[in-house]
Amino acid sequence: MATKTWQKQSDDIPVCQRSLFYWILRKHRGIQLLLLVIILTSLFFRVFPLEMQRRIINEAIHLRDEQLLFLYCGLYIGAVLLAGITKYLINVIQTVLGQKILMEMRTELYHHILQLPLQFYRKMQPGTVISAMTAELNSIGFFLGGALAIPVTSILSFLVFVGFMFTLSPLLTLLSISIYPLELIVIPLLQKRYNRLNKKRIKTTRAMANVVNEAISGIHEIHANAAYDLEEKRMAGFIDRLYSLLKRLLFVKYGIKFANNLFQSVGPFILFLIGGYLAINGQFTLGALVAFLSAYEKVYDPWKEMLEYYQALQDAQVRYKQIMQIFDVEIEHLILPGGRGIIELQGAIELKNVGFTVESGVKLLSNITMQIRPNEQVALVGFSGSGKSTLALLMAQLYKLSSGSLQLDGYDINTMSKADISRNITMIAQHPFIFTGTIRDNLLYSVRAAADGEQEVPARRRIMMTIRDVGLEEDILRFGLNSVIPYERVAPLKRKFLRMRHIIIHELHEDYTKSVEIYDARKFLHYSTLRDNLIFGDSLRGRYTVESMADDHDIMELLTSTGLENELVRLGLAIARVTIELLGEFGDDEFFFRGNPMESGEFERYNSLVQELGDEAPQKKQDRTMFLKLALRFIPGRHNIVTMDPALESAITEARETFLNDIVKVDLETCCHGIEDFQMEQNLLDLPRFEQERDFIAYCPSEYLYSHTLLDNLLFGALKEELRENQHLIENAMDAFRRERLVDEIIDVGLDFNVGSQGDRLSGGQKQKVAIARAFLKQGRILIMDEATASLDNTSQGKIQQVVDKKFRGKKTIIAVIHRLDLTPSYDRIFVLKAGSIIEQGSYDELMAQKGAFYELAKST
707-713 long-range contacts (CB < 8 A, ≥24 apart) are 707/484, 707/538, 707/540, 708/484, 708/538, 709/481, 709/482, 709/483, 709/484, 710/480, 710/481, 710/482, 710/483, 710/484, 710/485, 710/497, 710/746, 710/749, 711/481, 711/482, 713/497, 713/501
Nearer to Mg ion, 285 or 430 (CB): 430
The end-to-end CA distance of the chain, in Å, is 54
Residues in contact with 130: Cβ distance below 8 Å, sequence separation at least 6, in sequence order: 209, 213
* Contact status: 601 vs another protein (CB under 8 A): no
* Contact status: 570 vs another protein (CB under 8 A): yes
Strands 782-786 and 813-817: parallel
Q: Sign of torsion, CA 558 562 568 570?
A: positive
Q: Where along the sequence are the contacts to ligand ADP (CB under 6 A)?
A: 122, 358, 362, 364, 382, 384-390
Beta bridge partners of 349: 372, 408
Nearer to ligand ADP, 389 or 791 (CB): 389
Q: How many angstroms separate the CA atoms of 69 and 56, rounded?
A: 6
Instruction: Pick what 641 binds: another protein, ligand ADP, Mg ion, none; C-beta below 5 to 8 Å, kind-dependent.
Output: another protein
* Contact status: 390 vs Mg ion (CB under 5 A): no
Nearer to ligand ADP, 168 or 833 (CB): 833
- φ, ψ of residue 431 to 5 degrees: the values are -120, 85
* Contact status: 723 vs another protein (CB under 8 A): yes
Helix (H) or strand (E) holding 296: helix 286-327
Q: How far is the CB of 378 from ligand ADP (least distance, A)?
A: 15
* Contact status: 389 vs Mg ion (CB under 5 A): yes
* Contact status: 24 vs another protein (CB under 8 A): no
Size of the site for another protein (CB under 8 A): 32
Q: How far is the CB of 388 from ligand ADP (least distance, A)?
A: 3
The region of 79-87, 384-392, 636-644, 706-714 touching Mg ion under the rule CB under 5 A is: 384-392
Q: How many angstroms separate the CA atoms of 562 and 547, rounded?
A: 21
Q: How many angstroms separate the CA atoms of 193 and 784, rounded?
A: 54
Instruction: Pick what 617 binds: another protein, ligand ADP, Mg ion, none; C-beta below 5 to 8 Å, kind-dependent.
Output: another protein
Q: How far is the CB of 634 from another protein (least distance, A)?
A: 12
Q: How many angstroms separate the CA atoms of 260 and 90, rounded?
A: 25
* Contact status: 280 vs another protein (CB under 8 A): no
Instruction: Pick what 766 binds: another protein, Mg ion, ligand ADP, none; C-beta below 5 to 8 Å, kind-dependent.
Output: none
* Contact status: 813 vs Mg ion (CB under 5 A): no
* Contact status: 514 vs another protein (CB under 8 A): yes
Instruction: Pick what 121 binds: another protein, Mg ion, ligand ADP, none; C-beta below 5 to 8 Å, kind-dependent.
Output: none
* Contact status: 566 vs another protein (CB under 8 A): yes
Q: How far is the CB of 354 from Mg ion (least distance, A)?
A: 17
Q: How many angstroms separate the CA atoms of 510 and 499, rounded?
A: 18
Q: How far is the CB of 389 from Mg ion (least distance, A)?
A: 3
**Which residue of the chain is nearest ligand ADP when measured via CB?**
389
Q: How many angstroms separate the CA atoms of 610 and 604, rounded?
A: 10
Task: Indicate the burial class of 848 (C-beta count within 10 angstroms; 0-12, 13-18, 19 or more).
Answer: middle
Contact criterion met (CB below 8 Å) for 561 and 599: no
Strands 349-357 and 363-372: antiparallel
Nearer to ligand ADP, 23 or 399 (CB): 399
* Contact status: 386 vs Mg ion (CB under 5 A): no
* Eight-state DSSP code of residue 135: I
* Contact status: 621 vs another protein (CB under 8 A): no
CA 158 centroid distance within chain: 48
* Contact status: 574 vs another protein (CB under 8 A): yes
Nearer to ligand ADP, 596 or 768 (CB): 768
* Contact status: 577 vs another protein (CB under 8 A): yes
Nearer to ligand ADP, 53 or 386 (CB): 386
Nearer to another protein, 271 or 652 (CB): 652
* Contact status: 648 vs another protein (CB under 8 A): yes
- Binding site residues, another protein, CB under 8 A: 514, 563, 566-567, 570, 573-574, 577-578, 581-582, 585-586, 589, 591-592, 595, 615, 617, 638, 640-643, 645, 647-648, 651, 721-724
- Binding site residues, Mg ion, CB under 5 A: 389, 430
